[in-house]
Structure formats: structure tokens, C-alpha cells
Chain A
Amino acid sequence: DGGITQSPKYLFRKEGQNVTLSCEQNLNHDAMYWYRQDPGQGLRLIYYSQIVNDFQKGDIAEGYSVSREKKESFPLTVTSAQKNPTAFYLCASSIRTLREKLFFGSGTQLSVL
């Protein structure tokens, strides 16, 4: 079955540490996205990519970095510059002609130790 896989489900970060969240899709979608969700809040766009080797900043990109070396993969690194990283992180993908319909992974809960 096609879908989006995020790992790990739970992640803990120490002060000053960079951590990387994995996102892999086998839906053959061109576009991929990272959203952050805080408790009781909506989803805020961190980064998105419409094609391999290209990505753009979303609304809250500071303290985060991404890469898109393969169509299937869009990892997110939460750097030590992100001072408030505790949140639920959601990866999504879509076909280019229907960006309103996102397919989401099951998310990664990141907490700070």
C-alpha cells in the first residue's frame, strides 16, 4: 500500500543538539511539505518542495533545514537555533495538480529533555 512514513514516532532533543526527522513516501508525489502543530493549534508550514533538489521556506522556517535529494525523501533537521522545538511534526505530500489534497504521515512528537 502506498503512503507516507515518518520516523521516529517520538524523539527527544537535548540542548544544543540537532535532530533529523525522517519522511519517506511511495506515492510518486512530486510535492512534499513539513508542518508543525502545537497543542490546540492549526498546522503551520515550515518548508515545502515541489521537485527534487528544490525547496522553499514556509512561514516558520527559522531554525529548521531540509533537503530533497530523492523524490521519495524529504528529511527535516531541527537545529539548535530552534529555541522552542517541542511540537508535533507532520510531513505531507501531494500531486502537483491538486495541492489542496495533502496526504499526511502519522507524525513525529519532538520533545526537549
Chain B
Amino acid sequence: GQSLEQPSEVTAVEGAIVQINCTYQTSGFYGLSWYQQHDGGAPTFLSYNALDGLEETGRFSSFLSRSDSYGYLLLQELQMKDSASYFCAVRVPIYNQGGKLIFGQGTELSVKP
């Protein structure tokens, strides 16, 4: 089967740094993505890692270790508007069909003043 594990909740204070971890067990792997979803809204794409290492996009960074089947999303200088759910997602191969994206259960981040 395919599974992605991430913490269900994380709480941090404004201005702090928070790390959201994701471990995966999948039959095949193309890359790890991260999405943000505010309550009742549409998920929005944050980042994608196909290779090991750190990708930085402004206050957000994402890391991948393929050998450990592990990645994380790092949020710096937290702001109240960062309160949302964060999902990791893995694209797994399907024969002759380009693969499909499967999602973790999501981590609800609460940023306190």
C-alpha cells in the first residue's frame, strides 16, 4: 500500500520557525510536494522536491531525503496568516499513465500571537 505520515497538529508563535515532517512508504516515487489549505478553501501549491536537498522559496523551504523516505516543510518568521493545514503529497508511478498524486492526512498549523 501507499502511506504518508505527518503530524496532525503543530502550534507555534508568531515570528518563530516551525518544521512539518512527512515520511512516506510508496511503491515508486517521483517527488514530494507540499500544499497549503486555509479552512474551507482550495489547496495551493507551495513547493516540490524531486532530488535530495533543500529548496527555498521566500519564508518557506522544503527538504527531501530519498534514502530516508523523508521530507519536511520549514516555515520561518511565522505570521498569523500561516495558520492553515499543510499537506505533503507524493507522485507515484502508474504504468503508462504518468503517475498519480497521493496526499498525506494533513498537519493543522496554529500560529499564536
Known: A33-B101, A42-B103, A103-B45. 17 other contacts (CB 8 A): A35-B103, A41-B106, A42-B87, A42-B104, A43-B87, A45-B100, A45-B101, A50-B98, A99-B101, A100-B48, A100-B50, A101-B45, A102-B35, A102-B45, A102-B101, A107-B40, A107-B42
Task: Give A48 to B103 CA distance when docked, in angstroms.
Answer: 15
Flag if B97 contacts A56 (CB, 8 Å). Answer: yes
Chain B 25-46 residues near chain A, CB threshold 8 A: 30-31, 33, 35, 40-45
The interface of chain B, by Cβ under 8 A from chain A, is 4, 30-31, 33, 35, 40-45, 48, 50, 87, 89, 91, 94, 97-106
A39 → B minimal CB distance (Å) = 11
| Nearest CB in chain A to that of B90: its residue | A100
* Binary per-residue interface labels of chain A (37-57) against chain B in the complex, 1 for a CB within 8 Å, 0 otherwise: 000111111001010000010
Number of residue pairs across A and B with beta carbons under 8 Å?
62
The interface of chain A, by Cβ under 8 A from chain B, is 31, 33, 35, 40-45, 48, 50, 56, 58-59, 90, 96, 98-107
Flag if A50 contacts B33 (CB, 8 Å). Answer: no
Task: Give A100 to B50 CA distance when docked, in angstroms.
Answer: 10
B107 → A minimal CB distance (Å) = 10
| Nearest CB in chain B to that of A31: its residue | B98
CB contacts (< 8 Å) of B35 on chain A: these are: 102
CB contacts (< 8 Å) of A99 on chain B: these are: 91, 98-101
Contact of B103 among A43, A98, A107 (CB under 8 A): A43
Q: A50-B97, A100-B91 are in contact. Are A42 and B105 (CB under 8 A)?
A: yes
